[in-house]
A and B are shown apart, each in its own frame.
Chain A
Amino acid sequence: MSHPLLAEQFISRRDRAAWHDRSLWFVREKRDRQANDVPEWEELRKFASDIKQHTMSRLPNYLEEFERNAKALGVHVHWAVDGDEHNGIVHSILERHGVKRLVKSKSMLTEECHLNPFLEDRGITVIDTDLGERIVQLRNEPPSHIVLPAIHIRKEEVGACFHEHLGTEQGASDPKYLTEAARHHLREQFLAADAGITGVNFAIAETGGFVVCTNEGNADLGVSLPKLHIACMGIEKLVPRSKDLGVFLRLLARSATGQPITTYTSHFHGPRDGCELHVVLVDNGRSQLLQSPEFRRSLNCIRCGACMNTCPVFRRTGGHSYESTVPGPIGSILAPFRDPDQHTSLPFACSLCGSCTDVCPVKIDLHHQLFAMRSRLDHQQKLGGTKKLTMQLASSVLRHTWFYRLAGRVARYSLRWLPRFLIYNPLNGWGRQRELPSAPEQSFRRMYEDRQRKERP
């Protein structure tokens, strides 16, 4: 289904859509307070952008350097061209260790590769351990936001879900009570797990290690008890030096949730004694993205979610309307780049207001890319007839002075004299939820000409 159709379903529940909007704006405001607390914020963004740009220009070298250093620390390094190969590699490691129960902290990459269903089909129980991800997993739905997976769910619904699956009291909806129940449930899972999987926030070429950030401590619990730790990462997660983390860690949590830093920022360099540590490096379309001068900067993304929290379309239509692992502005570039047929509508779920570009901590020119993606889809012949026709019509109106003037005159006349049922007809999508403005007496051009005439002596 396209974004407009799913969005229509979402906004049909008006109270809920308004609540969703407010929740995300609250996070955006927390982000502003934290960003304003750092006087050198704009310089940090520039440093982050420059470091990423440099890294991308030498990515193959840095990947080799990372691999060399990781191996020296006793880490097993694997390479996967696509999601299927990634899933196969993870499964073969788990099989070799006889793993039946697996705990996994948040990893958008494993969502992108659909790892959970792949492993479950092969008899492995996968428990997502981030609270938000556990909630959506129990409800059998995907996360609706990359940082706040359950942002679309009301506490009463969490209560009902936990009552069914964790045996909490019926009707209970106090977040404190529900979180405590999840704590007991998940600590049992950590203690019973045979292996832990984590994502990777940053990998460091010069050391061969990587960093995982959480607030709950779920990644650390998941990999500090069992003897096997598998970390799955997209190849764009590299930074050259550990000191580069000084820049990115100052930006990440402030941009994501408005915290000065995540509670746990863990650096992993090699396995624990007597244990195994594996890193799977995944391409899955990233090298294609790097080839595109127009869109390669979207590889700089550090998955903070700030563009989603600020986006007026995302806030009002919800993450599920995007039907993409990464939704929102950045997802509306990544998804149609990879699969233009399935995600054609996403770059149009945008008013080009540019707020995403303003908050992006690594200075991705998001709204320019969203605009460019629309032309790309047009050139690829992916746009439907209606969209193409309206664009062509708008284009000829704007290109011809006489046509523009005529259109203005017709619009002013119609708005003034036509009966409501003709103006608010089924073709007028804009008027479905809004009143059109009242027509001015005369056009701007006419007003300007009159004034010029009067002022001239």
Chain B
Amino acid sequence: MNSASSRNTILRELRAAVPESSPIPNLPVRGPWQTFDDPLGRFSELLTMVGGTCVRVRNIADANTVLQQVDAWNSAVVRCSLVSGVGDSTIDLNAVDDPHQLENVEFAVLPGQFGVAENGAIWVTDHGIPHRVLFFLSQHLSIVISSSQIVHNMHEAYARIEPQQHAFAGFISGPSKTADIEQSLVIGAHGARSITVLAVDEL
């Protein structure tokens, strides 16, 4: 069978099967949803709980100072930053045409769009990121966000994003982890071994 006739078969079968229509629930942005007195505080607490670190700083210069105190940054031979003023790059990302060449990146500093207080997640997109694999292949990660850009919950998050604008976008909450061996939590499965979030007041 070819795909076009399978398409018709499936749609025909489904049309014969669909139950009586029921309305789609309205999902208000301000619904009965959980909010927090101190969204940044809650974000930071949750991020710590899932294995990340959040440091609040006044400005970009202070963010850079904090980064320079991170051991993984200092020991990284191959590193890159896509946030101007925070860290530097030992490689020219614009000269990289195959993402496989990023195999040895030890530390990447990347921009985040906003944080979510309820679960410590950060919304990131491929906007201005030449290779999205940097989010996953780098041994360590620092994500820079504005400390004022913290939404309370996922409903507020979806109210402000248009995922279809990006081939890739997503929420990242803490470093890569697994508990597949006897339910023992191990940080650093395949992706980033650590995440340091720099929440900048004046950004």
Cα distance A217–B20 in the bound complex, in angstroms: 40
The 9 closest A-B pairs by CB, nearest first: A217-B191, A132-B180, A260-B119, A216-B189, A287-B13, A224-B133, A266-B170, A175-B184, A207-B164
Question: Does A272 sit within 8 A of B, measured CB to CB?
Answer: yes
A180 to B178, CA, bound (A): 11
A85 touches B183 (CB 8 A): no
Q: Check A296–B19 contact: CB distance below 8 A.
A: yes
> B41 an interface residue at 8 Å Cβ cutoff?
no
Provide the A241-262 mask, 1 if CB < 8 A to any CB of B, else 0.
1111111011000000101111
The answer on a CB contact under 8 Å between A261 and B121 is yes
When distances are taken between beta carbons in the complex, the residues of chain A under 8 Å from B23 are 54
Residues of A within 8 A of B17 (CB): 287-288, 290-291, 296
Q: Can you list 24 A-B pairs, Cβ within 8 angstroms, ordered by A?
A: A40-B33, A47-B27, A60-B15, A79-B10, A129-B190, A131-B180, A131-B181, A135-B181, A148-B183, A155-B184, A175-B184, A175-B186, A183-B188, A209-B164, A220-B170, A221-B190, A242-B158, A246-B153, A246-B155, A250-B153, A261-B121, A263-B172, A270-B167, A283-B13
Q: Which residue of A lies closest to B20 (CB)?
A: A57
Contact residue among A211, A266, A281 (Cβ-Cβ distance under 8 Å from B10): A281
Which residues between 3 and 34 of chain B lie within 8 Å of chain A, taking CB atoms?
3-4, 6-7, 9-11, 13-25, 27, 31-34
Q: Which of A18-61 touch B at CB < 8 Å?
A: 23, 26-27, 38-40, 43, 47, 50-51, 53-54, 56-60
Given contacts A225-B99, A242-B158, whether A215 and B171 have CB atoms under 8 Å apart is: no
Q: Are B27 and A216 in contact (CB under 8 A)?
A: no
Among A78, A246, A270, the residue within 8 A (CB) of B157 is A246
B180 touches A149 (CB 8 A): yes
B61-94: contact bitstring with A at CB < 8 Å (1 yes, 0 no)? 0000000000000000000000000000000000
- Complex interface residues of chain B between 161 and 196 (CB less than 8 A to chain A): 161-184, 186, 188-192
Complex: A184 Cα to B189 Cα, angstroms: 9
| B172 proximity list for chain A (CB < 8 A) | 263-265
If the complex has contacts A190-B190, A209-B163, are A267 and B169 also in contact, measured as CB distance less than 8 A? yes
Q: Is the interface on chain B under 10, 10 to 19, 20 to 34, or 35 or more residues?
A: 35 or more
Contacting pair B22 A155 (CB below 8 A): no
- Contact status A243-B27, CB under 8 Å: yes
B57: Cβ under 8 A from any A Cβ: no
Q: How far is the CA of A262 from the CA of B161 in the complex (A)?
A: 19
Chain A proximity of B48: nearest CB distance (Å):
12
Query: Is B46 an interface residue, CB under 8 A from the partner?
Result: yes
Q: How far is the CA of A153 from the CA of B181 in the complex (A)?
A: 8
A168-212: which residues lie under 8 A (CB-CB) from chain B?
175-176, 178-180, 182-183, 186-187, 190-191, 204, 207-209, 211
- On chain A, the number of residues with a Cβ less than 8 Å from chain B's Cβ atoms is 98
Q: Nearest Cβ in chain A — how far from B33, in angstroms?
A: 6
Once bound together, how far apart are the Cα atoms of A80 and B7, in whole Å? 7
| B118 contacts A by Cβ under 8 Å | yes
**Complex Cα distance A130/B99, Å?**
21
Given A221-B191, A243-B158, do A265 and B121 touch, yes or no (CB 8 Å)?
A: yes
The complex places the Cα of A69 from the Cα of B164 at a distance, in Å, of 10
Task: Determine which residue in B116, B189, B191 has the highest number of CB atoms from chain A within 10 A of its CB, and name it.
Answer: B189
Q: Which residues of A contact B103 (CB under 8 A)?
A: 191
CA separation between A414 and B186, bound complex, in Å?
Answer: 56
Query: In the complex, what residues of B have CB within 8 A of residue A178's CB?
Result: 181
Cβ of B119 and Cβ of A266 under 8 Å apart? no
